[in-house]
Amino acid sequence: MDTKVWYNPAKGVVQPKGWGMVMSPVRILVVDDSELFRRFMISALQMSPALQVICSVADGFAAVAKAEELRPDVILLDIGLPGQNGIEAGRQIRRCAPASKIIFVSQESSADIVQETLSLGALGYVVKTSAGNDLLPAVAAVICSKQFVSSALAYSNFTHT
């Protein structure tokens, strides 16, 4: 399959170029302690038939357990989680579900925090205030193993290590 992804911002649709009826949807785990924000992300993701939210949880420990159990293709992971913060959960997920691609979705906009998330193996970082515009393009990018950093952070150069 071609690794380019088609994204239509008017419809919010994400799908790999060459998408066929036999391809399985991209399986997504949503992790955020705010039920309202989880609902927002799920609603945005459901606009695309190529994306399937398989589970949503509200804390870091549950995120690690569900990532290990379900092996999602993509994990949308908040940083400020109860129990275990998202950065530590991300480290553990890298070990127990290494094929899952992580996108941090957080209100944190510190360059140091963003760089730390990318250094631990995340492919994407979306600032919550930009999620309406950036969430689906971020998913489209990481599906193809490309890095995505929110447009609100365009002033910085971040590297995936």
pLDDT tens digits for range 96-118: 999 999 999 999 988 899 999 99
pLDDT digits (tens, 9 = 90+) for 73-85: 999 999 999 999 9
Computed over every residue of the chain, the mean pLDDT equals 86
DSSP 97: -
Looking at residue 21, what is its pLDDT?
A: 44
CA distances from 145 to 10, 58, 114, 122, 160 (A): 24, 26, 18, 10, 11
* Domain spans in the chain, listed from the N-terminal domain onward: 25-153
Q: Mean pLDDT lowest for which of 19-28, 55-64, 81-90?
A: 19-28
Query: Is pLDDT at 9 greater than 90 in this prediction?
Result: no
For the purposes of burial, counting CB atoms within 10 Å of the CB of 161, is it exposed (0-12), middle (13-18) or buried (19 or more)?
Answer: exposed
Looking at residue 152, what is its pLDDT?
A: 76
Predicted TM-score (pTM) of the model is 0.85
Place domain 25-153 in its CATH homologous superfamily. Answer: Response regulator (3.40.50.2300)
Looking at residue 62, what is its pLDDT?
A: 98
pLDDT digits (tens, 9 = 90+) for 40-80: 999 999 988 889 999 999 999 999 999 999 999 999 999 99
3-state secondary structure of 92: helix
User: In which element (H, E) is residue 54 found?
Assistant: strand 51-57
Looking at residue 19, what is its pLDDT?
A: 47
